Structure 1
Amino acid sequence: AIKPIAIILLIVLAINLGHYLRNYTLFDSVLGMAGTGETNKEFGVLISISGILKNLSLHADIVRNLQLEKIISPTTGLTNKVLEIIHGVLGIDLNDPALISPKARKFYVPGLSTYEDTAGNPLHLLLIIGSLFVLTINKKIWTNKLLIKYGIVLVVGFVLFASLLTWSPYRCRLHLPLFILFSPFVAIVFSKSLPKQVSYFLAILVLFLSYKWVLFNSVRPLIGENNIFQSSRVEQYFQTQPQYQQFYLDEVVRVESNQCENIGLTFKSSSFEYPLLVLLNENYPKQIQHINLENESKILIDKDSNSNFENLNNDCIINIDRSKLKN
């Protein structure tokens, strides 16, 4: 048992060690900067119950997911009302700022979305809950100890997630790894408990109902207007932040017309950096570095002797201020 645990720890360290070292250097903690509003300020059993329910509500729009809205009223409003009642019983404010991310400010049950940051998985959640229920009543599967342990780990992982992190509609995307990890669990439970025809039907249903997200993703659709085959790579970089596109393109023209090789970047209220780095290095390589930093990472620049752009030739400085860009 020790060997598998050691392997898991090595994998975790291999993936995260660089981040841990950076965080410890800057914030004296491997967990990163404190006070971001992304972790709960209060903890406890009731707080955990609240977090679990609010996170599950991100995947509550099962009616629209099954495309039954023409015959059944969507469940988002009902879910919101039920949560209000439950939180009244728990004595917890549904909109307690100590339990909600600053990015959200107010709790609500989101409807079905094809936007990648807020797209829920109602059908997948229903299948997971169904598989857990089937597991409890089908004692034949209980002999599969590995499956039981696997399921417990996933459930505990979700409980920890919901208990530690504040609620936000953008938590949907962070649930994705758990949904993926639950896939083999659901498949094994159903294949061992249900008739083959039912299992096949569920598999086909999931595949069919995924078409909306696969084909009509609101940011990068496969078909329709502005699909990925008709949009250039540069245009796709800016699909979620179009206000940056023309400014970045103009700055790249300015940099290259002046034959700058050493570029200093200053960001104000923005971190949309990747597209600019790609565009700057398209025609010839350049040295690019952040300057005039005002956050905690400033100490790393101060230690770097190469950060003094005043001593370099052909310098260009690009100032990015999101508040001055036109939407």
Structure 2
Amino acid sequence: MTIFVLLPLSFFVFIFLILRNNGENGIRHAILSTSIIYGVSLTFITELFSIFRLITRGWISAAWASAFIIAGYVFIKYNKKARHPLNVTRIPRFLILLICLIAFIVAAVGLIALVAPPNTWDSMTYHMPRVMHWIQDHSVAHYPTSMTHQLFMPPWAEFAIMHFQILTDGDRLANCVQWFSMIGCIIGVSLIAKQLGAGLRGQIFASVIAASIPMGILQGSSTQNDYVVSFWLVCFVYFALRIKKTRTGLADFLQTGISLGLAILTKLTACFYALPFFFLLFWFLLKRFKSKSWKPLVLIIAIALVINMGHFSRNAALSRSLAYGTAAKQRVVNEIYGFQFLTSNIIRNAGLHLVMPAKRVRDKMNMAIKSLHGMLGIDMNDPRITLPQPVKYTGITRISFGEDNTGNPVHLALILLTLVFLMTSRSLKPKADGVAYAVVNLAAFVLICFTVKFDPYQGRYHLPLFVLMSALAGTVLAEISYKRIMNLIILICVFYSVPWVFRGNPRPLIGEKNIFNMPRIEQYFRTRIWLKDYYVEMASFVKSRHYSEIGLLAAKPWEYPLWVVLEEDHMQKIRIEYVGVDNISAKLCDTYPFKDFDPQAIVSFYDETAFEDKKIFNKNISYIQQWSSGPLKVFIRDRSQFPEK
């Protein structure tokens, strides 16, 4: 790990100090504002340098060094003396206990993020491989690939990982992007709770609820993007609520637009969560600015679009679509609409969080779900509203510690309890604001169910909902007069989540094979451990021949570990490019720098029975199979036709 990574971190610290010492809104507000400045700065650096193919350690380091120097100069020359000494408020012992529990969860997740390598399924196939291709190409421009997710999916989380990867020359900090976002969400929901009328107790309750979400605990140490998009949505919602609550100026409008833009640039599900809040924001602006309300609205939309312009333009140039390629869009978007189909998706999506350990009870609940679908006249796995999966959806499952399919049953119950209290209690302070906030969050959930095909593994798509609703839950529960009962409920949330801290799969803290006693190379293969020996043997063969130009022939490859095993202890710089691409990105094979790629060896990744050829061709050059084991084969140039490169 190199010292270059201190440059962006120092920039963050200086910006925070400037905003904290010259602002009136406190430390938490300054942290969110600093994060927004950091996020848009990282986007600007990435997009600008990508145009000129300057994404290298030298140029990225120079960019962050310049930003650090400018921020340091502003801090030293224009910074006012701190006029906001830390307010020491007497905090009840129970709230201190809750803060300590939050710190424990955050620290444990951070330890996992630092020690464990990236090993999430999606990270192996597209999150991390796209980072490696960008670094290799010195640009975030699209490239030929058999895995088009690497191209069309929003890239901000991977932008951030790429900067860490370049500055540290490795993936030791790759998981920290989600971890930092987790911390930001815990801070941000307390501010949202404050906007909803919560006092100190309600704000801490909100943070505890957010910190203890099982899915969030697992996501906080991964290289996926669900916590990152949750954080930008938290920022967007917070600044949108500030527009209603305070006499905000241009800064809040700018931060609202930037947050929205960064959320969309991170994950498209942000659109579903942001749209209902956007209508609520429009109502706020209409009440405040009357006929001139369109001006700040246009500003916010324009900023969000500008931030996404680079990614949208790359997608449009390749597929004539801003977001997905046509095939991907047809795969994930519902093909039919109606009350019965929406009801099915709502039931099944909610059911992802209704885990039940007792088999007898679980079977009865699943029979009820099946009967309800029979009454609706549709199949539980109707392909028009369900993503195809190897295993059919059968209903509610047992408790899982896997990051792809864990549920949040206690937090779901807590949200439902909050809604009951909100609708039945007459004494709650944030009654109107709380109801409006609940409605827009539930509308976002319904919008996802209405638009997106059901997937048994999409429980993580709901993480922003659970995070945002934590603010309302904390606010409402803190107002209930039964203090001891509410305290007990909050403690149940925390202690229920502890097993996910220690036993989270695929990065457990304890157990026979945990992140401390399992070799790092094995941890990359944690979810497909049977592949490890094949990859290591293949890499040994390639290295023995001193090959550095590697072609990859695969439909859905387990790609990132290929980079890891080939680059480990290799004296030469490795270049890996896809060959035999037959999708929309194939046209890029004839563009720079891919048109001149002439691999010394081609690695194929296919099921043993699906690819039996002993000879393949690439650009009219024949390659002969020289090594094979399991799903991997290595082909080298046919020496009878061409001399080996």
Residue 55 of structure 1 and its aligned partner are, at CA, apart by: 0.8
Instruction: Structure 1: give runs of 5+ residues left out of the alignment.
Output: none
Q: Of 601, 605, 611, which aligns to 1:316? A: 601
Q: Are the equivalent residues in 1 in contact too, given 2:334–2:451 (CA < 8 A)? A: yes
Aligned to 1:52: 346
Whole-Å Cα distance in 2 between the matches of residues 129 and 92 of structure 1?
27
Alignment of 1:287-306 (within 5 A): 287-306=575-594
Alignment of 1:166-177 (within 5 A): 166-177=453-464
Tell me which amino acid in the other structure corresponds to 2:340. L
Q: Of 242, 247, 269, which aligns to 2:534? A: 247
Tell me which amino acid in the other structure corresponds to 1:210. S
Distance 1:96 1:199, change over 3 A: same
For 1:210, what is the secondary structure of its paired residue?
A: helix
The superposition leaves residues 270-292 of structure 1 with CA deviations (integer Å, 9 ceiling, x where unpaired) of 23111111222233432222222
Q: Are the equivalent residues in 1 in contact too, given 2:557–2:605 (CA < 8 A)? A: no
Residue 23 of structure 1 and its aligned partner are, at CA, apart by: 3.3
**TM-score under structure 2 normalisation?**
0.45
Q: Are the equivalent residues in 1 in contact too, given 2:422–2:434 (CA < 8 A)? A: no
Whole-Å Cα distance in 1 between the matches of residues 321 and 631 of structure 2?
38
Whole-Å Cα distance in 1 between the matches of residues 371 and 552 of structure 2?
50
For 2:325, what is the secondary structure of its paired residue?
A: coil
Whole-Å Cα distance in 1 between the matches of residues 514 and 389 of structure 2?
29
**Range moving further from structure 2, 11-20 or 286-295:** 11-20
Aligned to 1:184: 471
Q: Of 531, 548, 553, which aligns to 1:261? A: 548
Residue 148 of structure 1 and its aligned partner are, at CA, apart by: 3.8
Aligned to 1:7: 258
2:420 counterpart of 1:133: yes
Residue 54 of structure 1 and its aligned partner are, at CA, apart by: 1.1
Q: Are the equivalent residues in 1 in contact too, given 2:606–2:631 (CA < 8 A)? A: no
Q: Are the equivalent residues in 2 in contact too, given 1:135–1:142 (CA < 8 A)? A: no
Instruction: Count matched residues.
Output: 315
**Range moving further from structure 2, 96-105 or 317-326:** 317-326
Q: Are the equivalent residues in 2 in contact too, given 1:214–1:222 (CA < 8 A)? A: yes
Aligned to 1:232: 519
Q: Are the equivalent residues in 2 in contact too, given 1:43–1:163 (CA < 8 A)? A: yes
Alignment of 1:99-114 (within 5 A): 99-103=385-389, 106-109=392-395, 110-114=397-401
Q: Are the equivalent residues in 2 in contact too, given 1:24–1:32 (CA < 8 A)? A: no
For 1:173, what is the secondary structure of its paired residue?
A: helix
RMSD (CA atoms): 2.7
2:321 counterpart of 1:29: yes
Distance 1:111 1:24, change over 3 A: farther
Fraction of identical pairs, as percent: 30
**Range moving further from structure 2, 200-209 or 171-180:** 171-180
Whole-Å Cα distance in 2 between the matches of residues 107 and 238 of structure 1?
26
Q: Are the equivalent residues in 1 in contact too, given 2:342–2:449 (CA < 8 A)? A: yes
Residue 53 of structure 1 and its aligned partner are, at CA, apart by: 0.8
Whole-Å Cα distance in 1 between the matches of residues 550 and 393 of structure 2?
42
Whole-Å Cα distance in 1 between the matches of residues 391 and 338 of structure 2?
21
The superposition leaves residues 123-177 of structure 1 with CA deviations (integer Å, 9 ceiling, x where unpaired) of 1111111111111112343646554443233211111111212222111222223
Residue 240 of structure 1 and its aligned partner are, at CA, apart by: 0.7
Q: Are the equivalent residues in 2 in contact too, given 1:112–1:119 (CA < 8 A)? A: yes
Whole-Å Cα distance in 1 between the matches of residues 543 and 433 of structure 2?
59
Tell me which amino acid in the other structure corresponds to 2:375. V
Distance 1:118 1:194, change over 3 A: farther
Residue 42 of structure 1 and its aligned partner are, at CA, apart by: 0.6
Higher-helix-fraction structure: 2
